[in-house]
Structure 1
Amino acid sequence: MTGSTTRVFAARLAGTSVFDPQGDQVGRVRDVVGTLRPRGPVRVIGLVVEVPGRRRVFVPMTRVTSIDAGQVITTGLVNMRRFEQRGTETLLLAELLDRTVELADGSGEATIEDLGLDAVRARDWHLTRLFVRRGTTPRGLSGRLRRRGETMTVPVDGVVGGVLGLASPDLDQGATNLLAAFEELKPTDLAEVIHELTPKRRREVAAALDDERLADVLEELPEDDQVEILSGLEGDRAAHVLEEMQPDDAADLLSELPAEQAERLMALMDPEDAEPVRRLLAYDDYTAGGLMTTDPVVLAPDDTVAQALAHVRRIELNVPLATAVYVCRPPLETPTGRFLGTAHLQRLLREPPQTPLGQLMDNDIDPLAPEESLQAVTRQLAAYNLVSLPVVDEDGHLLGAVTADDVLDHLLPEDWRDAEEEVFEGPTGQERTRG
Structure 2
Amino acid sequence: MAAGAPRIFVSHLAGVPVFDPVGDQVGRVSDLVAMLRVGRRPPRLLGMVVEVLSRRRVFVPMTRITGVESGQVITTGVVNMRRFEQRPTERLVLGELLDRRVTLVESGEEVTVLDIAIQQLPARRDWEIDKVFVRRGKGGALRRKGEALTVEWSAVTGFSLEEHGQGAESLVATFEKLRPADLANALHHLSPKRRAEVAAALDDDRLADVLEELPEDDQVEILGKLKEERAADVLEAMDPDDAADLLNELPEEEKERLLTLMRPDDAADVRRLMSYEERTAGGLMTTEPIVLRPDATVADALARVRQQDLSPALAAQVYVCRPPDETPTGKYLGTVHFQRLLRDPPFTLVSSLVDSDLPPLGPDTPLPAVTSYFAAYNLVAAPVVDESGSLLGAVTVDDVLDHLLPDDWRETEFHEEGVRGG
1:85 and 2:78 matched: no
State the SS of the aligned residue for 2:364.
coil
CA distance in 2, matches of 1:158, 1:46: 24
State the SS of the aligned residue for 1:419.
helix
State the SS of the aligned residue for 1:166.
coil
**8 Å Cα contact 2:84/2:420 also seen in 1:** no
Alignment of 1:12-411 (within 5 A): 12-38=12-38, 41-120=42-121, 121-138=123-140, 145-160=142-157, 165-411=158-404
The residue type equivalent to 1:158 in the other structure is A
> Greater CA deviation, 378-387 or 31-40?
31-40
CA distance in 2, matches of 1:207, 1:32: 23
CA distance in 2, matches of 1:433, 1:398: 54
**8 Å Cα contact 1:248/1:293 also seen in 2:** yes
CA distance in 2, matches of 1:154, 1:264: 49
> Greater CA deviation, 228-237 or 362-371?
362-371
State the SS of the aligned residue for 1:214.
helix
Partner of 2:7: 7
CA distance in 2, matches of 1:70, 1:322: 34
CA distance in 1, matches of 2:245, 2:37: 44
Cα 1:229–1:432 change in 2 (3 A) is: closer
CA distance in 1, matches of 2:343, 2:81: 44
CA distance in 1, matches of 2:283, 2:5: 54
> Greater CA deviation, 396-405 or 353-362?
353-362
**8 Å Cα contact 1:101/1:112 also seen in 2:** yes
Query: Can you list the C-alpha shifts for 1:350-389, whole angstroms capped at 9, x where unaligned?
Result: 2222221122211222111111111111111111111111
CA distance in 2, matches of 1:85, 1:314: 42
Give 1:172 deviation, angstroms.
1.4
Identity %: 61
Give 1:156 deviation, angstroms.
2.3
Give 1:6 deviation, angstroms.
4.5
State the SS of the aligned residue for 1:417.
helix
Cα 1:288–1:199 change in 2 (3 A) is: same
State the SS of the aligned residue for 2:300.
helix
**8 Å Cα contact 2:7/2:130 also seen in 1:** no
CA distance in 1, matches of 2:3, 2:24: 20
Calculate the TM-score normalised by the size of structure 2.
0.94
**8 Å Cα contact 1:14/1:29 also seen in 2:** yes
**8 Å Cα contact 1:5/1:66 also seen in 2:** no
The residue type equivalent to 2:214 in the other structure is L
**8 Å Cα contact 1:5/1:68 also seen in 2:** no
> Greater CA deviation, 370-379 or 411-420?
411-420
The residue type equivalent to 1:289 in the other structure is G
**8 Å Cα contact 1:7/1:118 also seen in 2:** yes
Cα 1:270–1:4 change in 2 (3 A) is: farther
> Greater CA deviation, 150-159 or 291-300?
150-159
Query: Can you list the C-alpha shifts for 1:101-160, whole angstroms capped at 9, x where unaligned?
Result: 12111341000111121211432111232111122225xxxxx71112222222223223
The residue type equivalent to 2:91 in the other structure is T
**8 Å Cα contact 1:60/1:432 also seen in 2:** no
Give 1:336 deviation, angstroms.
0.1
State the SS of the aligned residue for 2:369.
helix
The residue type equivalent to 2:28 in the other structure is R
The residue type equivalent to 1:82 in the other structure is R
CA distance in 2, matches of 1:3, 1:406: 53
The residue type equivalent to 2:218 in the other structure is D
**8 Å Cα contact 2:82/2:421 also seen in 1:** no
The residue type equivalent to 1:92 in the other structure is V
**8 Å Cα contact 2:215/2:411 also seen in 1:** no
State the SS of the aligned residue for 1:81.
coil
Give 1:3 deviation, angstroms.
8.2
State the SS of the aligned residue for 2:410.
coil
Segments ≥4 residues shifted beyond 3 Å: 2-6, 37-41, 431-434
State the SS of the aligned residue for 2:214.
coil
The residue type equivalent to 2:405 in the other structure is L
Give 1:46 deviation, angstroms.
0.9
> Greater CA deviation, 61-70 or 284-293?
61-70
Alignment of 1:408-423 (within 5 A): 408-419=401-412
The residue type equivalent to 1:347 in the other structure is R
**8 Å Cα contact 2:58/2:420 also seen in 1:** no
Cα 1:128–1:86 change in 2 (3 A) is: same
CA distance in 2, matches of 1:76, 1:432: 17
CA distance in 1, matches of 2:371, 2:85: 34
State the SS of the aligned residue for 2:295.
coil
> Greater CA deviation, 283-292 or 355-364?
355-364
Give 1:74 deviation, angstroms.
1.2
Count of residue pairs the alignment pairs up: 417
Cα 1:3–1:299 change in 2 (3 A) is: farther
Which residues of structure 1 form unaligned runs of 5+? 139-143, 424-430
State the SS of the aligned residue for 1:307.
helix
**8 Å Cα contact 1:4/1:67 also seen in 2:** no
Cα 1:344–1:338 change in 2 (3 A) is: same
State the SS of the aligned residue for 2:159.
helix
CA distance in 2, matches of 1:394, 1:262: 29
Give 1:32 deviation, angstroms.
0.6
